Amino acid sequence: MSTELVIEVNNLSKTFKKENHRVDSLRSFILNRKKNTTDSGKELKALRNINFEIKKGETFGIIGRNGSGKSTLIHLIIGCMKPDKGGYVKTKGKILRLALGLGMDPNLTARDNIYINGSVLGLSFKEIGQRFDDILDYAGLQEFVDTPIKNFSKGMQARLKFSIAMYAKADIFLLDEFFGGVGDEEFKLKSNDAFNKSIVDQKTIVIISHNKQIIKKHCDRVLWIDKGSIKMLGPSEDVLKAYQESFIKLSATT
Protein backbone atom coordinates (compact mmCIF):
# COMPACT_ATOMS: atom_id res chain seq x y z
CA MET A 1 0.00 0.00 0.00
CA SER A 2 1.28 3.49 -0.86
CA THR A 3 1.87 6.22 1.73
CA GLU A 4 0.26 8.74 -0.61
CA LEU A 5 -2.99 10.20 0.75
CA VAL A 6 -5.91 10.26 -1.67
CA ILE A 7 -8.67 11.29 0.77
CA GLU A 8 -8.22 13.74 3.64
CA VAL A 9 -11.19 14.58 5.86
CA ASN A 10 -10.52 17.33 8.36
CA ASN A 11 -12.84 18.73 11.05
CA LEU A 12 -15.85 17.76 8.95
CA SER A 13 -19.25 18.71 10.30
CA LYS A 14 -22.63 19.11 8.65
CA THR A 15 -25.63 20.94 10.07
CA PHE A 16 -29.11 20.93 8.57
CA LYS A 17 -31.79 23.41 9.51
CA LYS A 18 -35.32 22.23 10.12
CA GLU A 19 -37.86 24.98 9.53
CA ASN A 20 -40.39 25.60 12.28
CA HIS A 21 -42.92 27.31 10.07
CA ARG A 22 -44.89 25.62 7.34
CA VAL A 23 -44.85 27.72 4.19
CA ASP A 24 -47.88 26.94 2.06
CA SER A 25 -48.44 30.29 0.35
CA LEU A 26 -46.60 33.42 -0.76
CA ARG A 27 -48.24 35.40 2.06
CA SER A 28 -47.02 32.99 4.76
CA PHE A 29 -43.53 33.03 3.21
CA ILE A 30 -43.39 36.86 3.40
CA LEU A 31 -44.73 36.89 6.97
CA ASN A 32 -42.17 34.31 8.08
CA ARG A 33 -39.36 36.28 6.45
CA LYS A 34 -40.32 39.28 8.56
CA LYS A 35 -39.97 37.34 11.80
CA ASN A 36 -36.79 37.21 13.83
CA THR A 37 -34.22 35.26 11.81
CA THR A 38 -32.99 33.56 15.00
CA ASP A 39 -36.29 31.68 15.04
CA SER A 40 -35.68 30.22 11.58
CA GLY A 41 -35.71 26.64 12.82
CA LYS A 42 -34.02 23.93 14.79
CA GLU A 43 -30.61 22.64 13.85
CA LEU A 44 -29.83 19.01 13.16
CA LYS A 45 -26.18 18.02 13.54
CA ALA A 46 -25.73 15.21 11.04
CA LEU A 47 -21.94 15.03 11.48
CA ARG A 48 -19.61 16.35 14.16
CA ASN A 49 -15.88 16.89 13.77
CA ILE A 50 -15.03 13.91 11.55
CA ASN A 51 -11.32 13.38 10.86
CA PHE A 52 -9.59 10.58 8.92
CA GLU A 53 -7.25 9.88 6.01
CA ILE A 54 -7.20 7.16 3.35
CA LYS A 55 -4.08 6.03 1.51
CA LYS A 56 -3.76 5.12 -2.13
CA GLY A 57 -4.59 1.44 -2.67
CA GLU A 58 -6.29 1.06 0.71
CA THR A 59 -9.66 -0.61 1.17
CA PHE A 60 -11.43 1.39 3.87
CA GLY A 61 -14.75 0.50 5.51
CA ILE A 62 -17.44 2.74 6.97
CA ILE A 63 -20.04 1.23 9.30
CA GLY A 64 -22.82 2.48 11.55
CA ARG A 65 -26.49 2.07 12.25
CA ASN A 66 -29.13 3.62 10.01
CA GLY A 67 -29.21 7.37 10.57
CA SER A 68 -25.68 7.52 11.93
CA GLY A 69 -24.49 9.92 9.22
CA LYS A 70 -22.86 7.55 6.71
CA SER A 71 -24.81 8.83 3.69
CA THR A 72 -24.15 12.45 4.62
CA LEU A 73 -20.44 11.69 4.87
CA ILE A 74 -20.40 10.09 1.43
CA HIS A 75 -22.24 13.05 -0.10
CA LEU A 76 -19.64 15.38 1.39
CA ILE A 77 -16.74 13.29 0.11
CA ILE A 78 -18.03 13.26 -3.48
CA GLY A 79 -18.92 16.97 -3.31
CA CYS A 80 -22.71 16.78 -3.46
CA MET A 81 -22.91 18.80 -0.23
CA LYS A 82 -20.83 21.52 1.36
CA PRO A 83 -19.54 21.01 4.90
CA ASP A 84 -19.97 23.48 7.74
CA LYS A 85 -17.43 26.29 7.86
CA GLY A 86 -13.98 25.17 8.99
CA GLY A 87 -14.18 21.61 7.67
CA TYR A 88 -12.92 20.29 4.36
CA VAL A 89 -12.46 17.19 2.22
CA LYS A 90 -9.47 16.78 -0.10
CA THR A 91 -9.45 14.05 -2.74
CA LYS A 92 -6.74 13.17 -5.23
CA GLY A 93 -7.83 11.53 -8.47
CA LYS A 94 -11.22 10.83 -9.97
CA ILE A 95 -13.75 9.60 -7.41
CA LEU A 96 -16.91 7.68 -8.29
CA ARG A 97 -19.80 6.36 -6.26
CA LEU A 98 -20.43 2.94 -7.73
CA ALA A 99 -23.92 1.49 -7.46
CA LEU A 100 -25.57 -1.17 -9.55
CA GLY A 101 -28.08 0.28 -11.98
CA LEU A 102 -27.12 3.93 -11.58
CA GLY A 103 -28.65 5.68 -14.60
CA MET A 104 -30.67 2.65 -15.75
CA ASP A 105 -34.03 3.24 -17.44
CA PRO A 106 -36.35 0.18 -17.36
CA ASN A 107 -38.25 1.39 -20.42
CA LEU A 108 -35.15 1.40 -22.62
CA THR A 109 -33.45 -1.58 -24.23
CA ALA A 110 -30.30 -3.26 -23.01
CA ARG A 111 -28.43 -1.57 -25.86
CA ASP A 112 -29.55 1.91 -24.82
CA ASN A 113 -28.91 1.26 -21.15
CA ILE A 114 -25.36 0.08 -21.81
CA TYR A 115 -24.60 3.44 -23.39
CA ILE A 116 -26.43 5.49 -20.74
CA ASN A 117 -25.07 3.57 -17.77
CA GLY A 118 -21.57 3.45 -19.24
CA SER A 119 -21.61 7.23 -19.68
CA VAL A 120 -22.62 7.70 -16.04
CA LEU A 121 -19.65 5.52 -15.04
CA GLY A 122 -17.18 7.68 -16.93
CA LEU A 123 -16.85 5.94 -20.30
CA SER A 124 -16.93 7.77 -23.61
CA PHE A 125 -19.28 6.54 -26.35
CA LYS A 126 -16.22 5.29 -28.25
CA GLU A 127 -15.05 3.28 -25.24
CA ILE A 128 -18.54 1.86 -24.72
CA GLY A 129 -18.66 0.81 -28.36
CA GLN A 130 -15.33 -0.98 -27.99
CA ARG A 131 -16.57 -2.88 -24.94
CA PHE A 132 -20.17 -3.34 -26.04
CA ASP A 133 -19.91 -6.98 -27.19
CA ASP A 134 -17.82 -7.92 -24.15
CA ILE A 135 -20.49 -6.52 -21.82
CA LEU A 136 -23.25 -8.49 -23.53
CA ASP A 137 -21.17 -11.67 -23.66
CA TYR A 138 -20.24 -11.46 -19.99
CA ALA A 139 -23.88 -10.92 -19.02
CA GLY A 140 -25.05 -13.67 -21.41
CA LEU A 141 -27.68 -11.39 -22.94
CA GLN A 142 -26.71 -11.30 -26.63
CA GLU A 143 -30.19 -12.41 -27.70
CA PHE A 144 -31.91 -9.71 -25.66
CA VAL A 145 -29.90 -6.66 -26.71
CA ASP A 146 -32.97 -4.86 -28.12
CA THR A 147 -35.39 -5.91 -25.38
CA PRO A 148 -36.54 -3.30 -22.80
CA ILE A 149 -34.95 -4.26 -19.49
CA LYS A 150 -38.31 -3.94 -17.69
CA ASN A 151 -39.04 -7.31 -19.32
CA PHE A 152 -35.88 -8.86 -17.87
CA SER A 153 -35.91 -11.07 -14.81
CA LYS A 154 -34.15 -9.70 -11.72
CA GLY A 155 -31.25 -12.02 -12.42
CA MET A 156 -30.88 -10.78 -16.00
CA GLN A 157 -31.00 -7.16 -14.86
CA ALA A 158 -28.38 -7.83 -12.18
CA ARG A 159 -26.05 -9.48 -14.72
CA LEU A 160 -26.35 -6.54 -17.10
CA LYS A 161 -25.79 -3.93 -14.40
CA PHE A 162 -22.78 -5.75 -13.04
CA SER A 163 -21.23 -6.32 -16.47
CA ILE A 164 -21.39 -2.59 -17.21
CA ALA A 165 -20.07 -1.62 -13.77
CA MET A 166 -16.89 -3.65 -14.31
CA TYR A 167 -15.73 -1.04 -16.82
CA ALA A 168 -16.24 1.99 -14.57
CA LYS A 169 -13.34 4.43 -14.68
CA ALA A 170 -12.10 6.10 -11.50
CA ASP A 171 -9.15 6.22 -9.11
CA ILE A 172 -11.31 5.98 -6.00
CA PHE A 173 -14.51 3.95 -5.75
CA LEU A 174 -17.17 4.50 -3.09
CA LEU A 175 -19.18 1.30 -2.84
CA ASP A 176 -22.48 1.93 -1.10
CA GLU A 177 -23.99 -1.50 -0.31
CA PHE A 178 -22.66 -2.75 -3.64
CA PHE A 179 -20.37 -5.71 -4.14
CA GLY A 180 -19.72 -8.74 -6.33
CA GLY A 181 -21.75 -11.90 -6.21
CA VAL A 182 -24.94 -10.98 -8.09
CA GLY A 183 -27.25 -13.09 -10.26
CA ASP A 184 -27.60 -16.87 -10.15
CA GLU A 185 -25.08 -19.11 -8.38
CA GLU A 186 -22.87 -19.62 -11.44
CA PHE A 187 -22.76 -15.89 -12.18
CA LYS A 188 -22.13 -15.05 -8.50
CA LEU A 189 -18.87 -16.99 -8.55
CA LYS A 190 -17.80 -15.40 -11.81
CA SER A 191 -18.82 -11.85 -10.84
CA ASN A 192 -17.21 -11.98 -7.41
CA ASP A 193 -13.90 -13.06 -8.91
CA ALA A 194 -14.07 -10.42 -11.64
CA PHE A 195 -15.02 -7.70 -9.18
CA ASN A 196 -12.07 -8.47 -6.93
CA LYS A 197 -9.60 -8.47 -9.82
CA SER A 198 -10.84 -5.42 -11.73
CA ILE A 199 -11.91 -3.16 -8.87
CA VAL A 200 -10.84 -4.22 -5.37
CA ASP A 201 -7.30 -5.31 -6.20
CA GLN A 202 -6.58 -2.34 -8.45
CA LYS A 203 -8.08 0.77 -6.85
CA THR A 204 -8.60 2.72 -3.66
CA ILE A 205 -11.91 1.51 -2.24
CA VAL A 206 -14.30 2.89 0.36
CA ILE A 207 -16.98 0.37 1.32
CA ILE A 208 -20.12 1.52 3.13
CA SER A 209 -22.00 -1.58 4.17
CA HIS A 210 -24.07 -3.29 6.86
CA ASN A 211 -22.52 -6.58 5.81
CA LYS A 212 -19.86 -7.20 8.43
CA GLN A 213 -18.45 -10.20 6.56
CA ILE A 214 -17.68 -8.09 3.50
CA ILE A 215 -16.06 -5.40 5.65
CA LYS A 216 -14.00 -7.98 7.54
CA LYS A 217 -12.86 -9.76 4.39
CA HIS A 218 -11.79 -6.75 2.36
CA CYS A 219 -11.11 -3.72 4.56
CA ASP A 220 -7.76 -2.80 6.08
CA ARG A 221 -9.26 -0.23 8.45
CA VAL A 222 -12.79 0.66 9.49
CA LEU A 223 -14.47 3.86 10.60
CA TRP A 224 -17.45 3.42 12.93
CA ILE A 225 -19.84 6.39 12.98
CA ASP A 226 -22.47 6.70 15.70
CA LYS A 227 -24.94 9.58 15.94
CA GLY A 228 -22.83 11.72 13.65
CA SER A 229 -19.54 11.29 15.51
CA ILE A 230 -16.57 8.94 15.25
CA LYS A 231 -17.08 6.09 17.67
CA MET A 232 -13.97 4.17 16.65
CA LEU A 233 -11.33 4.10 13.91
CA GLY A 234 -8.79 1.31 13.52
CA PRO A 235 -8.06 -2.20 12.24
CA SER A 236 -11.18 -3.87 10.86
CA GLU A 237 -11.13 -6.79 13.29
CA ASP A 238 -10.96 -4.52 16.36
CA VAL A 239 -13.66 -2.13 15.17
CA LEU A 240 -16.04 -4.86 14.04
CA LYS A 241 -15.68 -6.64 17.38
CA ALA A 242 -16.55 -3.48 19.29
CA TYR A 243 -19.42 -2.74 16.89
CA GLN A 244 -20.89 -6.21 17.38
CA GLU A 245 -20.56 -5.91 21.17
CA SER A 246 -22.52 -2.66 21.07
CA PHE A 247 -25.54 -4.55 19.71
CA ILE A 248 -25.24 -7.13 22.47
CA LYS A 249 -25.15 -4.39 25.12
CA LEU A 250 -28.11 -2.64 23.51
CA SER A 251 -30.24 -5.80 23.49
CA ALA A 252 -29.34 -6.45 27.13
CA THR A 253 -30.73 -3.08 28.21
CA THR A 254 -34.00 -3.37 26.27
**Mean pLDDT in residue range 79-100:** 90
Choose among 244, 77, 253: nearest CA to 170: 77
pLDDT of residue 26: 53
More confident: 200 or 182: 200
- Supply angle C-alpha 10, 14, 16, rounded to 5: 170
Rounded to whole angstroms, the Cα distance separating 47 from 52 reads 13
- Report strand pairing: 229-235 vs 221-226: antiparallel
Q: Does domain 5-94+209-253 have CATH number 3.40.50.300?
A: yes
pLDDT of residue 72: 94
DSSP state of 84: P
Choose among 7, 4, 5: nearest CA to 174: 7
More confident: 238 or 178: 238
| Lowest model confidence (mean pLDDT) among 125-129, 131-135, 215-219, 230-234 | 215-219
More confident: 26 or 73: 73
Residues 212/51, Cβ–Cβ less than 8 Å: no
**Mean pLDDT in residue range 220-236:** 96
More confident: 179 or 81: 81
pLDDT digits (tens, 9 = 90+) for 101-116: 667 899 999 999 999 9
Q: Does domain 103-170+179-202 have CATH number 3.40.50.300?
A: yes
pLDDT digits (tens, 9 = 90+) for 123-143: 999 999 999 999 999 899 999
Domains 5-94+209-253 and 103-170+179-202 share a fold: yes
**Average pLDDT across the chain, whole number:** 85
pLDDT of residue 188: 72
pLDDT of residue 17: 83
Give the start-to-end residue ranges of the domains of the chain. Answer: 5-94+209-253, 103-170+179-202
User: Is residue 187 over pLDDT 80?
Assistant: no
pLDDT band at 195 (very low <50, low <70, confident <90, very high): confident
pLDDT band at 233 (very low <50, low <70, confident <90, very high): very high
pLDDT digits (tens, 9 = 90+) for 154-183: 888 888 988 888 888 889 989 876 555 566
Choose among 51, 53, 48, 47: nearest CA to 91: 53
